[in-house]
Amino acid sequence: MGKVKGPLFNKNVDNTIMMLKKEWENHPNNFKMISKQIPQYNAKQIRQRWKNHLDPNLCHEPLDEAEKSFIVQWVKVNQTTPTATIHWKDLISAMKDRFGKLRSENKIKNFWYLKQRSLKLEQQEVDCKYTVDDDKNNIIPFQSLFEICHDPLSEREKQFIIQWISISKMKQKNDRISWVCLRNDLKTKFYKTRPENALKNFWYSRQRRLGEPAREGPSNKPAIPYLLDY
Protein backbone atom coordinates (compact mmCIF):
# COMPACT_ATOMS: atom_id res chain seq x y z
CA MET A 1 0.00 0.00 0.00
CA GLY A 2 1.40 3.41 -0.96
CA LYS A 3 2.30 6.10 1.52
CA VAL A 4 -0.60 8.39 2.37
CA LYS A 5 0.25 12.05 1.81
CA GLY A 6 -1.44 15.00 3.43
CA PRO A 7 -2.58 18.21 1.74
CA LEU A 8 0.03 20.31 -0.02
CA PHE A 9 1.70 23.11 1.88
CA ASN A 10 1.16 26.67 0.72
CA LYS A 11 2.53 30.08 1.60
CA ASN A 12 -0.11 30.80 4.23
CA VAL A 13 0.50 27.49 5.98
CA ASP A 14 4.27 28.04 5.82
CA ASN A 15 3.88 31.46 7.42
CA THR A 16 1.73 29.97 10.17
CA ILE A 17 4.31 27.27 10.88
CA MET A 18 7.13 29.81 11.05
CA MET A 19 5.14 32.05 13.39
CA LEU A 20 4.15 29.20 15.73
CA LYS A 21 7.64 27.69 15.64
CA LYS A 22 9.04 30.98 16.89
CA GLU A 23 6.34 31.17 19.57
CA TRP A 24 6.99 27.63 20.83
CA GLU A 25 10.67 27.47 19.97
CA ASN A 26 11.67 26.18 23.41
CA HIS A 27 8.78 23.76 23.79
CA PRO A 28 10.01 20.12 23.73
CA ASN A 29 7.09 19.09 21.50
CA ASN A 30 6.75 22.25 19.46
CA PHE A 31 5.83 20.45 16.21
CA LYS A 32 3.07 18.58 18.01
CA MET A 33 1.80 21.86 19.40
CA ILE A 34 1.82 23.40 15.92
CA SER A 35 -0.13 20.45 14.50
CA LYS A 36 -2.94 21.21 16.94
CA GLN A 37 -3.31 24.62 15.32
CA ILE A 38 -3.26 23.22 11.78
CA PRO A 39 -4.73 19.71 12.28
CA GLN A 40 -4.71 18.87 8.56
CA TYR A 41 -0.97 18.20 9.06
CA ASN A 42 0.55 15.89 11.64
CA ALA A 43 3.67 16.65 13.69
CA LYS A 44 5.93 14.58 11.43
CA GLN A 45 4.81 16.41 8.28
CA ILE A 46 5.36 19.78 9.92
CA ARG A 47 8.78 18.76 11.21
CA GLN A 48 9.85 17.60 7.73
CA ARG A 49 8.53 20.81 6.20
CA TRP A 50 10.56 22.83 8.68
CA LYS A 51 13.78 20.86 8.34
CA ASN A 52 13.70 20.68 4.55
CA HIS A 53 12.26 24.08 3.59
CA LEU A 54 11.42 26.57 6.32
CA ASP A 55 14.37 26.56 8.72
CA PRO A 56 15.98 30.00 8.16
CA ASN A 57 19.41 28.47 8.77
CA LEU A 58 19.12 26.23 5.71
CA CYS A 59 21.33 26.86 2.70
CA HIS A 60 19.18 26.46 -0.42
CA GLU A 61 21.97 26.96 -2.94
CA PRO A 62 22.88 23.97 -5.15
CA LEU A 63 25.47 21.60 -3.74
CA ASP A 64 28.96 22.44 -4.97
CA GLU A 65 31.43 19.84 -6.22
CA ALA A 66 33.31 19.72 -2.92
CA GLU A 67 30.10 18.93 -1.04
CA LYS A 68 29.12 16.26 -3.56
CA SER A 69 32.52 14.60 -3.24
CA PHE A 70 32.25 14.79 0.55
CA ILE A 71 28.85 13.05 0.48
CA VAL A 72 30.16 10.23 -1.71
CA GLN A 73 33.24 9.68 0.45
CA TRP A 74 31.30 9.94 3.71
CA VAL A 75 28.77 7.30 2.65
CA LYS A 76 31.56 5.06 1.37
CA VAL A 77 33.32 5.22 4.75
CA ASN A 78 30.26 5.06 7.01
CA GLN A 79 27.94 2.70 5.15
CA THR A 80 29.09 -0.78 6.14
CA THR A 81 27.25 -2.59 3.32
CA PRO A 82 25.52 -1.39 0.11
CA THR A 83 22.13 -2.03 1.73
CA ALA A 84 22.97 -0.63 5.17
CA THR A 85 21.08 2.38 6.49
CA ILE A 86 22.62 5.77 5.77
CA HIS A 87 22.48 8.00 8.85
CA TRP A 88 21.50 11.24 7.15
CA LYS A 89 21.45 13.29 10.37
CA ASP A 90 25.08 12.42 11.03
CA LEU A 91 25.99 13.30 7.45
CA ILE A 92 24.18 16.65 7.71
CA SER A 93 26.07 17.42 10.92
CA ALA A 94 29.40 16.43 9.36
CA MET A 95 28.74 18.63 6.33
CA LYS A 96 27.85 21.59 8.54
CA ASP A 97 31.10 21.17 10.47
CA ARG A 98 33.10 20.84 7.26
CA PHE A 99 31.51 23.52 5.08
CA GLY A 100 29.66 25.76 7.53
CA LYS A 101 26.36 25.21 5.71
CA LEU A 102 23.20 23.55 6.98
CA ARG A 103 21.85 21.39 4.20
CA SER A 104 18.40 19.82 4.17
CA GLU A 105 18.06 16.07 4.32
CA ASN A 106 15.99 16.10 1.13
CA LYS A 107 18.68 17.93 -0.82
CA ILE A 108 21.36 15.45 0.22
CA LYS A 109 19.10 12.44 -0.40
CA ASN A 110 18.07 13.75 -3.81
CA PHE A 111 21.70 14.11 -4.86
CA TRP A 112 22.68 10.68 -3.54
CA TYR A 113 19.83 8.67 -5.04
CA LEU A 114 20.01 10.52 -8.36
CA LYS A 115 23.71 9.67 -8.53
CA GLN A 116 22.99 6.01 -7.78
CA ARG A 117 20.34 5.86 -10.52
CA SER A 118 22.74 7.49 -12.98
CA LEU A 119 25.46 4.96 -12.16
CA LYS A 120 22.99 2.12 -12.59
CA LEU A 121 21.83 3.43 -15.96
CA GLU A 122 25.43 3.87 -17.11
CA GLN A 123 26.18 0.28 -16.15
CA GLN A 124 23.10 -0.93 -18.01
CA GLU A 125 24.25 0.96 -21.10
CA VAL A 126 27.67 -0.68 -20.86
CA ASP A 127 26.06 -4.11 -20.46
CA CYS A 128 23.91 -3.47 -23.53
CA LYS A 129 26.80 -2.21 -25.64
CA TYR A 130 29.24 -5.00 -24.87
CA THR A 131 29.22 -8.75 -24.53
CA VAL A 132 31.88 -11.37 -23.81
CA ASP A 133 33.48 -13.61 -26.38
CA ASP A 134 33.40 -16.90 -24.47
CA ASP A 135 36.25 -18.37 -26.50
CA LYS A 136 38.78 -15.63 -25.78
CA ASN A 137 37.19 -13.84 -22.80
CA ASN A 138 37.38 -10.64 -24.83
CA ILE A 139 34.86 -7.83 -24.45
CA ILE A 140 33.31 -7.07 -27.84
CA PRO A 141 30.75 -4.43 -28.89
CA PHE A 142 27.22 -5.84 -28.68
CA GLN A 143 26.31 -3.80 -31.76
CA SER A 144 28.79 -5.86 -33.80
CA LEU A 145 26.43 -8.84 -33.50
CA PHE A 146 24.04 -7.03 -35.84
CA GLU A 147 26.58 -5.58 -38.25
CA ILE A 148 28.02 -7.48 -41.20
CA CYS A 149 31.65 -8.38 -40.56
CA HIS A 150 33.77 -8.10 -43.72
CA ASP A 151 37.08 -8.99 -42.09
CA PRO A 152 38.84 -12.09 -43.48
CA LEU A 153 37.68 -15.35 -41.95
CA SER A 154 39.88 -16.48 -39.08
CA GLU A 155 41.45 -19.93 -39.10
CA ARG A 156 39.08 -20.99 -36.34
CA GLU A 157 36.09 -19.89 -38.40
CA LYS A 158 37.40 -21.78 -41.44
CA GLN A 159 37.85 -24.96 -39.41
CA PHE A 160 34.37 -24.52 -37.98
CA ILE A 161 32.87 -24.17 -41.48
CA ILE A 162 34.67 -27.28 -42.74
CA GLN A 163 33.52 -29.43 -39.84
CA TRP A 164 29.99 -27.99 -39.85
CA ILE A 165 29.51 -28.80 -43.55
CA SER A 166 31.07 -32.26 -43.18
CA ILE A 167 28.75 -33.17 -40.31
CA SER A 168 25.77 -31.65 -42.12
CA LYS A 169 26.41 -33.76 -45.22
CA MET A 170 26.76 -36.93 -43.16
CA LYS A 171 23.49 -36.28 -41.34
CA GLN A 172 21.58 -35.33 -44.47
CA LYS A 173 23.30 -37.89 -46.69
CA ASN A 174 23.49 -35.41 -49.56
CA ASP A 175 25.58 -32.44 -50.70
CA ARG A 176 23.10 -29.69 -49.93
CA ILE A 177 24.36 -26.94 -47.63
CA SER A 178 22.05 -24.75 -45.59
CA TRP A 179 24.03 -21.52 -45.69
CA VAL A 180 21.48 -19.70 -43.55
CA CYS A 181 21.88 -22.26 -40.76
CA LEU A 182 25.66 -22.23 -41.06
CA ARG A 183 25.68 -18.44 -40.94
CA ASN A 184 23.52 -18.43 -37.81
CA ASP A 185 25.71 -20.99 -36.06
CA LEU A 186 28.83 -18.99 -36.92
CA LYS A 187 27.22 -15.91 -35.41
CA THR A 188 26.32 -17.81 -32.24
CA LYS A 189 29.80 -19.28 -31.91
CA PHE A 190 32.01 -16.33 -32.88
CA TYR A 191 29.78 -13.27 -32.30
CA LYS A 192 30.21 -12.18 -35.92
CA THR A 193 27.61 -11.83 -38.65
CA ARG A 194 29.26 -13.02 -41.84
CA PRO A 195 27.86 -12.39 -45.34
CA GLU A 196 26.71 -15.60 -47.00
CA ASN A 197 28.96 -14.93 -50.00
CA ALA A 198 32.04 -14.95 -47.76
CA LEU A 199 31.18 -18.45 -46.56
CA LYS A 200 30.45 -19.69 -50.07
CA ASN A 201 33.62 -18.15 -51.52
CA PHE A 202 35.76 -19.82 -48.88
CA TRP A 203 34.09 -23.20 -49.26
CA TYR A 204 34.02 -23.38 -53.05
CA SER A 205 37.57 -22.04 -53.37
CA ARG A 206 38.69 -24.77 -51.01
CA GLN A 207 36.76 -27.39 -52.99
CA ARG A 208 38.37 -26.27 -56.23
CA ARG A 209 41.83 -26.47 -54.68
CA LEU A 210 41.07 -29.98 -53.48
CA GLY A 211 39.60 -30.92 -56.86
CA GLU A 212 36.26 -31.90 -55.33
CA PRO A 213 32.87 -31.22 -56.97
CA ALA A 214 30.82 -28.38 -55.53
CA ARG A 215 27.21 -29.49 -55.57
CA GLU A 216 24.45 -28.02 -53.50
CA GLY A 217 20.74 -27.49 -53.48
CA PRO A 218 18.19 -25.81 -51.25
CA SER A 219 17.80 -27.25 -47.79
CA ASN A 220 15.31 -26.59 -45.02
CA LYS A 221 17.10 -28.73 -42.48
CA PRO A 222 17.57 -27.19 -39.01
CA ALA A 223 20.96 -25.87 -38.01
CA ILE A 224 23.56 -28.44 -36.97
CA PRO A 225 24.84 -27.69 -33.46
CA TYR A 226 28.52 -26.81 -33.54
CA LEU A 227 30.65 -29.53 -32.03
CA LEU A 228 34.17 -28.20 -31.76
CA ASP A 229 35.34 -25.95 -28.93
CA TYR A 230 38.08 -24.03 -30.68
For the chain, give the percent of residues with pLDDT over 90: 43
pTM of the model: 0.50
> What confidence score (pLDDT) does residue 193 get?
86
SS3 per residue for the chain: CCCCCCCCCCHHHHHHHHHHHHHCCCCCCHHHHHHHHCCCCCHHHHHHHHHHHHCCCECCCCCCHHHHHHHHHHHHHHCCCCCCCCCHHHHHHHHHHHHCCECCHHHHHHHHHHHHHHHHHHHHHHHHHEEEECCCCEEEEHHHHCCECCCCCCHHHHHHHHHHHHHHHHHHCCCCCCHHHHHHHHHHHHCCECCHHHHHHHHHHHHHHHCCCCCCCCCCCCCCCCCCCC
**Per-residue pLDDT band at 79 (split at 50, 70, 90):** confident
- Tell me the mean pLDDT in the region 154-162: 92
Return the CA Rg of the chain.
34
> What confidence score (pLDDT) does residue 124 get?
62
> What confidence score (pLDDT) does residue 213 get?
59
- For residue 50, give the nearest of 94, 14, 24 by alpha carbon: 14
> Average pLDDT, whole number, for the chain?
81
> What confidence score (pLDDT) does residue 219 get?
45
> What confidence score (pLDDT) does residue 134 get?
46
**Per-residue pLDDT band at 202 (split at 50, 70, 90):** very high
**Per-residue pLDDT band at 225 (split at 50, 70, 90):** very low
> What confidence score (pLDDT) does residue 221 get?
44
Residue 6 has pLDDT above 70, yes or no: no
- Tell me the mean pLDDT in the region 21-41: 89
Question: Per-residue pLDDT tens for 83-107?
Answer: 788 999 999 999 999 999 999 999 9
- Tell me the mean pLDDT in the region 195-213: 88
Residue 195 neighbours by CB under 8 Å, 6+ apart: 148, 150
Least confident of 121-130, 147-156, 195-204: 121-130
> What confidence score (pLDDT) does residue 56 get?
92
The CA distance from 190 to 135, in Å, is 8
Domain layout of the chain by residue ranges? 11-54, 65-127, 155-210
Residue 198 has pLDDT above 70, yes or no: yes
**Per-residue pLDDT band at 122 (split at 50, 70, 90):** low
